[in-house]
Chains A and B, each alone.
Chain A
Amino acid sequence: GNSVTQMEGPVTLSEEAFLTINCTYTATGYPSLFWYVQYPGEGLQLLLKATKADDKGSNKGFEATYRKETTSFHLEKGSVQVSDSAVYFCALLYNNNDMRFGAGTRLTVKP
């Protein structure tokens, strides 16, 4: 079945460090891929998306490229800030309404 596997956390970085959170997926066909972010005490917010192979989603300095050949959608940011501390979820949407989420990766950025 369709599923998402993402890098287990927690991840702790210093401010201005480079961030990578790995995400791979299993799906038949061509799902859309998403990264959501959850700040403490809040719901999930859409961070970025990509709907087809080789698409690059980007927002707030974060980027992820839909790689069909490696079935991956890794999240990257060149220079993290303390305010980026949150839990990040990779997700796929298949066949209009079959949404699957990864387990989430907690990121802590220290000043």
Chain B
Amino acid sequence: KAGVTQTPRYLIKTRGQQVTLSCSPISGHRSVSWYQQTPGQGLQFLFEYFSETQRNKGNFPGRFSGRQFSNSRSEMNVSTLELGDSALYLCASSLGDRDKNIQYFGAGTRLSVL
């Protein structure tokens, strides 16, 4: 079974631009969660989607948004990029059911904002 796939692996953008990251979950997984990882803040939860609906949201500004498609693939969008948005963005998928919610992570997309 293929793992969680994130594309692209690396991105370089400039301030003010917008970016879209993609995540393909493990087949059969209906939940996709997004995290931002930085050396200073560690792993911070962005949001979780389940069956095309945002089920949970972390404490990030509205510039960070996401969506999930009917095939469970998810995208995350960041608008008006700031230097502080430079980070490794990790996606995790899970079955999404109670007691079966072990999260499996992709390799991440490393975003650099110049």
Contact = CB atoms under 8 A, between A and B. Distances in A.
Contact of B56 (A32, A97, A101, A103): A97
A7 interface: no
B45 A99 contact: yes
A82 interface: no
Q: Is the interface of A mostly helix, strand, loop or mixed?
A: strand
Interface of A: 32, 34, 36, 41-46, 49, 51, 89, 93, 96-104
B96 A97 contact: yes
Contacts, number: 49
Q: Is the interface of B mostly helix, strand, loop or mixed?
A: strand
Given A43-B4, A43-B90, A101-B42, A93 B101 contact: yes
A13 B84 CA distance: 33
A89 B103 CA distance: 13
Given A89-B43, A97-B48, A99-B33, A46 B102 contact: yes
A97 B55 contact: yes
Contacts of B43: 89, 101, 104
B64 interface: no
A96 B90 contact: no
